[in-house]
A and B are shown apart, each in its own frame.
Chain A
Amino acid sequence: MSLLEIDELEVGFDTEAGLVRAVDGVSLSVERGRTLGLVGESGCGKSVTAASVLRLVPVPPGRYLGGAIRFDSADILTMPRDELPEIRGRDIAMVFQDPMTALNPVFTIGRQLREVLALRFGLAHGAARERSAAMLGAIGIPDPMTRLDQYPHELSGGMKQRVMIAMALLCRPRLLIADEPTTALDVTVQAQILHLIRELQRESETSVLFITHDMGVIAEMCDTVAVMYAGRVVERGSVVDVFERPRHPYTHGLLASLPRPGRARKSALATIEGTVPSLLAPPRGCRFAARCTHHRQLDPGSAQRCLDVDPRLPPDGDHPVACHFPLTASTIDRETA
């Protein structure tokens, strides 16, 4: 059985304009020791999905509207509130995009790391300090003993992000949720952090849920990938299948829009015209239809079906797609010709 299973999750936010269904029927699973990438653009619901796994969505204005999240068979959404701290940090740790706000500015790095170890393993001061220093060393922070006595503002952004990761990994979590952990960082620091996550995963069989908008990071890190659009998963599969044979026109559009070596310089890049629909009143049929180039090439009857019938992601299969007319190798060739 999978370590984490998200089943038809629905999360909404009450706003003045009405209920926004940020996550609208998302199903995913993360296998033991594997990495699932969750990719999509701002507002697609990927971060809300991730936060829901730790029940971190603020209620109100947020509301869990339906579905279930099972972690090692415990039901997160119905669990009594006082049992959550048991899971948070110990079984599931999370690394956020912005390390500046996730560390407490008034305590030293050492104290914050010690606190985690005291709570998790009941370690005494000296032992906790030693273990913290060893972890900082392991993630490539020079002179860890000195760093322990420093405050967050004394460290660079990349350094703080590494401290956050150290904190998450000290707990030896069974699941690490990384929400855009490298987005604010430079490419060389990003490479260091990705390497670190991979190393620790290899050593301790940690499962990882990796949230990003960066297709390169997905290709680099993940075993499987789920592509989200407007609160839904539109395609899911092994990273090789999704990158080499995208079946959803949105996935294909995202991959085609990236500049990459070998593409003619200064030539027009493929784009996805239009904007994401409002989640206050999403379209009845396919949420991507209005922007879909593939849709425009269908015969009128088929095109109407996209507008009328909501394509849902089939629950099973190796490479399911939420599209009435998924792309095949020949349709892609025809359209790019």
Chain B
Amino acid sequence: MNAGIAAPLLVADDVCKHYPVRGGVWGRSIGAIRAVDGVSLAVESQRTLGLVGESGCGKSTLGRTLMRLETPTHGTVTFDGRDLARAHGDELQRLRREIQMVFQDPYSSLNPRMTVGEIVREPLVVHRIGSRAEQQERVRALLETVGLDATTIDRYPSEFSGGQRQRIGVARALALGPRLVIADEPVSALDVSVRGQVLNLMLRLQRELGLAFIFISHDLSVVEHMCDTVAVMYLGRIVEEAPVERLFARPAHPYTRALLAAIPSLDPRRRTGAVPLEGEVPSPIDVPRGCPFAPRCAWVIAACRESVPALEAVETSTHRAACIRRVEVAAEPLSVSGAPRRVTGASS
């Protein structure tokens, strides 16, 4: 399987999702929240793309837009060559089988009044696949695939632990035989000791079923372990994208550096100590002019405030960053604090 030659499974081109802000007496649109603002990305078959960023950066909205739970305001999403953003009717139904989602909270994403069997069977019922007996058979097989005993089929979600519930969520996502699974913070709500179980399950499913994943997470150490490529989002845009080893070794966007520096070290002899980033993420209603990260950036120069930097290559075509100083930033050795050793050109 050579992913370099085959066309990517999913391609997003300049995808925007804006939500109108209404105000005034007539409830007219007075502005927009640019939750996702011009995102282009590609997911290769059988690979994992990590989508990282902090609360409100738009990563979940992007995930929902890519699977058409939200209709993009602008831009195209193609899945296996077919236009997903504008598909409707039967075509959309067929495409929806190919992309499924695993949600963050295994407590609220499973209906407590349905049995495990009903939960996992529901997608088959909705898409009218197979007879009732065939569906039951498929459900049993799915439960075993995710490491649950098929005898649990008549039990309710409340009888399961968090890790087991997340397995049920994974079984449901697999019911229609998707080729792409979007996992939105799939282990964030789980205890440390069961996180590994769910992550291992995802890795095994990828190997055995040839799944592609979009792995949405704010936990960079999990992303580093799980993903092939990583896209970092800030205020609705991708600010950096690279193969995982490269992103962690030579981050070219100051925001990526700050995120990396904020990960607590697991070595008590090598504490990170410093504060990587001052200030707060600006409101997506009122994005500053120029580079949206400029107000918090330790590398900022006057030119940063003039226009929004485009995502451009850093040394190789697979590594792109939206920073006019990307080459300098990538060349700077990673210090523990993530800030440049000398702050150059800091302006007001």
Chain A residues near B (Cβ < 8 Å) = 41-42, 140, 142, 156-159, 186-192, 194-195, 198, 213-217, 219-220, 222, 239-240, 243, 253-255, 257-261, 263, 265-266, 268-273, 275
Is B224 among interface residues, defined by CB-CB distance under 8 A?
yes
Docked-complex contact B258 and A271, CB < 8 angstroms = no
Chain B residues near A (Cβ < 8 Å) = 54-55, 161, 191-197, 199-200, 203-204, 218, 220-222, 224-226, 244-245, 248, 258-259, 261-269, 271-280
Can you name the residue of chain B whose Cβ is closest to the Cβ of A184? B55
Docked-complex contact A216 and B263, CB < 8 angstroms = yes
A304 and B275 CA atoms in complex are apart in Å by 50
Docked-complex contact B220 and A219, CB < 8 angstroms = no
Q: Using Cβ atoms and an 8 Å threshold, which residues of chain A touch B200? A: 268-269, 271
Known contacts A187-B263, A214-B264, A240-B269; is-contact A195 B221 (Cβ 8 Å): no
Docked-complex contact B193 and A41, CB < 8 angstroms = yes
Docked-complex contact A263 and B225, CB < 8 angstroms = yes
A187 and B161 CA atoms in complex are apart in Å by 27
Docked-complex contact B266 and A191, CB < 8 angstroms = no
A75 and B136 CA atoms in complex are apart in Å by 61
Docked-complex contact A220 and B192, CB < 8 angstroms = no
* Complex partner residue of A219 from B199, B218, B268, B280, CB under 8 angstroms: B268
Docked-complex contact B221 and A260, CB < 8 angstroms = yes
Docked-complex contact A213 and B191, CB < 8 angstroms = yes
Docked-complex contact B275 and A243, CB < 8 angstroms = no
A-B contact pairs, 5 of them (CB 8 A): A186-B218, A187-B54, A198-B273, A219-B271, A220-B273
Sample of 11 more A-B contacts, CB < 8 Å, known A188-B277, A219-B267, A257-B195: A187-B262, A191-B264, A192-B278, A195-B273, A216-B263, A216-B264, A259-B226, A265-B224, A265-B225, A269-B225, A271-B197
Q: Using Cβ atoms and an 8 Å threshold, which residues of chain B touch A189? A: 54
Q: Using Cβ atoms and an 8 Å threshold, which residues of chain B touch A156? A: 280
Docked-complex contact B199 and A159, CB < 8 angstroms = no
Q: Using Cβ atoms and an 8 Å threshold, which residues of chain B touch A243? A: 266-268
Known contacts A186-B55, A243-B268; is-contact A215 B197 (Cβ 8 Å): no
A260 and B196 CA atoms in complex are apart in Å by 12
Q: Using Cβ atoms and an 8 Å threshold, which residues of chain B touch A258? A: 192, 221, 266
Q: What's the minimum C-beta distance from B220 to chain A, rounded to whole angstroms?
A: 7
Docked-complex contact B280 and A158, CB < 8 angstroms = yes
Known contacts A254-B192, A257-B192; is-contact A188 B244 (Cβ 8 Å): no
A-B interface, 9 closest residue pairs, ranked by CB to CB distance from nearest: A216-B264, A259-B225, A269-B196, A272-B193, A186-B54, A271-B196, A187-B262, A41-B191, A220-B264
A231 and B44 CA atoms in complex are apart in Å by 46
Can you name the residue of chain A whose Cβ is closest to the Cβ of B260? A187
Known contacts A157-B55, A220-B265; is-contact A271 B193 (Cβ 8 Å): yes
Can you name the residue of chain B whose Cβ is closest to the Cβ of A222? B268
* Complex partner residue of A188 from B54, B161, B248, CB under 8 angstroms: B54
Q: Using Cβ atoms and an 8 Å threshold, which residues of chain A touch B275? A: 191-192, 195
Docked-complex contact A268 and B280, CB < 8 angstroms = no
Docked-complex contact B279 and A266, CB < 8 angstroms = no
Q: What's the minimum C-beta distance from B290 to chain A, rounded to whole angstroms?
A: 20
Q: Using Cβ atoms and an 8 Å threshold, which residues of chain B touch A214? A: 264
A273 and B164 CA atoms in complex are apart in Å by 11
Docked-complex contact A187 and B193, CB < 8 angstroms = no
* Complex partner residue of B221 from A157, A191, A259, CB under 8 angstroms: A259
A239 and B223 CA atoms in complex are apart in Å by 26
A222 and B268 CA atoms in complex are apart in Å by 8
Q: What's the minimum C-beta distance from B3 to chain A, rounded to whole angstroms?
A: 14
Known contacts A187-B262, A214-B264, A219-B266; is-contact A266 B277 (Cβ 8 Å): no
Interface centre among B220, B268, B272 (most CB of A within 10 A): B268
Docked-complex contact B280 and A216, CB < 8 angstroms = no
Can you name the residue of chain B whose Cβ is closest to the Cβ of A193? B275
Can you name the residue of chain A whose Cβ is closest to the Cβ of B248? A261
Known contacts A240-B269, A254-B193; is-contact A266 B280 (Cβ 8 Å): no
Known contacts A220-B264, A259-B222, A265-B244; is-contact A188 B258 (Cβ 8 Å): yes
A214 and B272 CA atoms in complex are apart in Å by 15
Docked-complex contact B193 and A266, CB < 8 angstroms = no
Can you name the residue of chain A whose Cβ is closest to the Cβ of B220? A187
A156 and B195 CA atoms in complex are apart in Å by 28
Docked-complex contact B266 and A260, CB < 8 angstroms = yes
Interface centre among B193, B196, B204, B279 (most CB of A within 10 A): B193
Docked-complex contact A219 and B54, CB < 8 angstroms = no
Q: Using Cβ atoms and an 8 Å threshold, which residues of chain B touch A222? A: 268
A268 and B204 CA atoms in complex are apart in Å by 9
Q: What's the minimum C-beta distance from A315 to chain B, rounded to whole angstroms?
A: 24
Docked-complex contact B266 and A275, CB < 8 angstroms = no
Docked-complex contact A268 and B54, CB < 8 angstroms = no
Q: What's the minimum C-beta distance from A317 to chain B, rounded to whole angstroms?
A: 20
Docked-complex contact B265 and A159, CB < 8 angstroms = no
Can you name the residue of chain B whose Cβ is closest to the Cβ of A215? B266
Q: What's the minimum C-beta distance from A287 to chain B, rounded to whole angstroms?
A: 14
Q: What's the minimum C-beta distance from A268 to chain B, rounded to whole angstroms?
A: 5
